[in-house]
Structure 1
Amino acid sequence: MSEPLLYRSTRGLAPGAGIGEAIAAGLAPDGGLYVPEALPRLDPADFDPRGSLADTATRLLRPFFVGHALAAELPAICAEAFAFDAPLRPLGQHPGVAVLELFHGPSAAFKDFGARFLASCFRRLRKPDEPPLTILVATSGDTGAAVAAAFHRQPGVEVVILYPDGLVSPRQAHQLGCFGDNVRALRVAGRFDDCQRMVKAALNDAGLQARRPLSSANSISLGRLLPQMAYYAHASLQWQREHGRPLNFVVPTGNLGNALACVWVREMGLPVGEIELACNANQTLPDYFGGAAYAARPAVATLANAMDVGAPSNFERLRWTFPYDADLRQQLSSHSVDDATICATVLRHATRGEVFCPHTATAMHRFEQRDRQADWAVVATAHPAKFESVIEPLIGRTVPVPPALAAMLDRPAQAEPLEATDAALKAWLLGEGAEVCGPEQARRLG
């Protein structure tokens, strides 16, 4: 049996932790992000060629859970988290191009996979005599709804979602506020980076933690990040079996969690080729990969709002993976796509019968600038129906709404206003929080 992995902070000032502790904490005590001491190495032959996405996830993640009680539960956790598919669909008449569709879950975005995995872990990690736990979530559009759907009515857990007021799509905002029960939505008078800063400050406040235990469900959480590797592993293994070549990916990215998952799959030895980070008009990553010093900056509002991030948290993990700038810049490329190009890309493909969300359109545009003789997967991160106020005027027709999203939109929704300060969130958490859903109430709500 292999030795259990120990998890360290990217900042190196916190003691090591086991996988359960790292998932439960969300953020390391020194403010850094948890990473394994070393990434495991796997061989493509380790995977069942007839296995499902859940089977691939179980095999991929097994080394991360060795020696912990969750290891025995991993097949069940993966079955719960990966209960819907992530199809690798051919794109038109291009034999070497596919779209990796990640939006077939309850909230119609890729974040459903990681959120459901995390919720399944928390259900098994939590002891009956433990105090209630508050999950803090900063969202630029999609994370909050995925986490809310995954944790809705889960006993002993309250979810508090922070989102930038007026900077998410109307349907995204409705999703964030439509759950009720143990889920509360706060519309923050600021940008996503303010929401993210406020959440990190709360998680790092020992006094606050002592009075109200907190954790995170953003991609700063290892429990969100690790499962996101599964669909890249599954797609790349499928492609190699069918074509005999590695698969390259164009990944729309903002906070870097989804892209980092793809990078780690490649580092673990699976057949992932080139990785391009498709960004919107926020230039932090394109400027860095273009040779400039890394510099976080205020986020710019764009049509691809879930990627409106000026200070991507997972850059710390990326730098842990490749400590030297020259090496890191050789591993990835990153380019910016402005709103006008997003619109033109959506419209051009709609005339060919393909409707993409604004985020997927950034990846599609970047693919169109690449060598089309190579094998590429364009990562589709959200369903276009979530962005009807952008997409439908462009293409001149309505976009059918998936049933799960339609059910959310049929519910009433509300969100509370909050100032964009660390103090405002702390005060809300200490005096304004909702009652946590207990076991009896959960059964009544059914």
Structure 2
Amino acid sequence: MSAALRYLSTRNANTHATLSEAIAAGLAPDGGLYVPERLPTLSPEDFSAGGTLADTAATLLSPFFAGDALAGELPAICAEALTFPTPLRALTHHPKTLVLELFHGPTAAFKDVGARFLAACLRRVRSDASNPLTILVATSGDTGAAVAAAFHRQPGIDVVILYPDGRVSPRQAHQLGCFGDNVQALRVQGRFDDCQRMVKAALNDAALQAQSPLSSANSISLGRLLPQMSYYAHASLAWWREHREPLNLIVPTGNLGNALAVVWVRAMGLPIGAIRLACNANTTLPDFFAGEDYTPRQAVATLANAMDVGAPSNFERLQWTYPDNQALRAQFRAQSVDDRTIAATIAQHAREHDEVFCPHTATALHLLDQYRAAGDDLPWAVVATAHPAKFESVVEPLIGRSVDVPSALAAMLQRSASAESMSAEDGALRGWLLDKAAQHVEI
């Protein structure tokens, strides 16, 4: 059996935990993000050619779980969480232009993969329902609904979702507020970065944690990040077996969690070629990769709202993976795509190819359109992060028709929804959580 990995803080290598402890905590006590002390290495031959996504995940993640209390449960966790497809589909106009569709889960976004996996893990490491754990989630649109769906009515766990009021799509907002029971949505009067800052402040508040045990389900959680690696491994291995060439990927990214997952899969030795990061008008990452200092800034609102992040949390993990900035910049490229181009890309692909995409996926499609126009004939997969029906107010006017709504999303839209307003201040969330703890009742 492989030696057990320790999990360290990005800010202090002397701060370490087991995997179960890291998943339960969400954030390291010093405010850093947990990372494995080293990335394991694997080869295509380690994976079963006929395996399911859950099988691929179990093999991929086995070295991360080795020696942990959850190790024996890993196959069951994968089978429980990964029950929907993540197909790699060729587009009609070019045989090497592919889409990796990650929106076939219950809330029609890629976040379902990580959220369901995290919930399956916490069901096994949390057994004291008399002392509820509160999962805090800052969301720019899709994370909150995925976490709510994964933890809805789970004993011993409450979910508190913070989202920027007026900066998510109407259907996203409805999803966030439609669960009830142990799920509470808070409409923060600010940006996503405010929500993220408030969550981190609460997680780092020892006195608050003593009265109200807290954890995170954002991509700062290893329990979210690790399973997101599985669909990249599964897709790249399938392509490799058939074509004997690596698959290149373009990933829409905001907080860098989904992008970091593919970065780690490639670093582990699996057959992934070039990685490109597609961003919206929030240029923190494109500016860094162009040679500027890393400078977080306030997020601006865009059509691709789930990527409206000015201070991407997972940049710490990216710099842990490649500590030298010059080496890091040599590994990737990042490009910004403005709203006008996003809209034009959605309209063009619907008109010319009868393919409909969400605004986030359109940022990646635009990059690929540029590559093809320049004569690039390599195999590229665009990562489709959400179903276009979640953004009907953006997409439908551009394509001139309605978008079919997946059945699970349609069912959520039939429920009533509500959310409580909150100011964008750390103290507002702290006071709200203390009041909740004092009431000694589940939400």
> Normalised by the shorter chain, which TM-score bucket?
over 0.9
Other-structure match for 1:368: 369
Runs of 5+ consecutive residues of structure 1 not aligned to the other structure: 439-446
Q: Is the 8 A contact 1:136 1:215 kept in 2?
A: yes
Runs of 5+ consecutive residues of structure 2 not aligned to the other structure: none
State the secondary structure of the residue aligned to 2:84.
coil
Is 1:285 matched with 2:289? no
Question: Aligned partners of 1:3 and 1:130: how far apart in 2?
Answer: 35
State the secondary structure of the residue aligned to 1:89.
strand
Other-structure match for 1:359: 360
Deviation readout 1:322-354 (Å, 9 max, x if unpaired): 001100001110000000000000000111210
TM (norm. structure 1) is 0.97
Q: Is the 8 A contact 1:132 1:436 kept in 2?
A: no
- The ranges of structure 1 where at least 4 consecutive aligned residues each deviate by more than 2 angstroms after the TM superposition are 127-130, 432-438
State the secondary structure of the residue aligned to 1:275.
strand
Matched AA of 2:145: A
Matched AA of 2:104: H
Aligned match of 2:386 in 382, 385, 388? 382
State the secondary structure of the residue aligned to 1:146.
helix
Other-structure match for 2:55: 55
Per the TM alignment, residue 92 of structure 1 is displaced from its structure 2 partner at its CA by: 1.1
Matched AA of 1:266: R
Other-structure match for 1:443: none
Question: Aligned partners of 1:189 and 1:135: how far apart in 2?
Answer: 20
Question: Aligned partners of 2:14 and 2:119: how far apart in 1?
Answer: 25
Per the TM alignment, residue 95 of structure 1 is displaced from its structure 2 partner at its CA by: 1.4
Is 1:420 matched with 2:424? yes
Q: Is the 8 A contact 2:129 2:156 kept in 1?
A: no
Other-structure match for 1:162: 162
Matched AA of 1:302: T
1:140-155 equivalent positions in 2, closer than 5 A = 140-155=140-155
State the secondary structure of the residue aligned to 2:31.
coil
Other-structure match for 2:211: 211
Matched AA of 2:218: N
Per the TM alignment, residue 432 of structure 1 is displaced from its structure 2 partner at its CA by: 4.1
Matched AA of 1:168: V
Matched AA of 2:321: T
Deviation readout 1:112-142 (Å, 9 max, x if unpaired): 0000000000000012366210000000000
Question: Aligned partners of 2:129 and 2:169: how far apart in 1?
Answer: 40
Question: Aligned partners of 2:14 and 2:173: how far apart in 1?
Answer: 36
Q: Is the 8 A contact 2:129 2:157 kept in 1?
A: no
Identity across the alignment (%): 72
Deviation readout 1:343-382 (Å, 9 max, x if unpaired): 0000001112100000000000011112531010000000
Equivalent pairs counted in the alignment come to 438
Question: Aligned partners of 1:385 and 1:213: how far apart in 2?
Answer: 36
State the secondary structure of the residue aligned to 2:281.
coil
Other-structure match for 2:233: 233
Is 1:102 matched with 2:106? no
1:6-155 equivalent positions in 2, closer than 5 A = 6-12=6-12, 15-128=15-128, 131-155=131-155
Matched AA of 1:68: D
Per the TM alignment, residue 403 of structure 1 is displaced from its structure 2 partner at its CA by: 0.3
Per the TM alignment, residue 13 of structure 1 is displaced from its structure 2 partner at its CA by: 6.2
Per the TM alignment, residue 93 of structure 1 is displaced from its structure 2 partner at its CA by: 3.0
State the secondary structure of the residue aligned to 1:134.
strand
State the secondary structure of the residue aligned to 2:397.
helix
Matched AA of 1:380: A
Q: Is the 8 A contact 1:282 1:300 kept in 2?
A: yes
TM (norm. structure 2) is 0.97
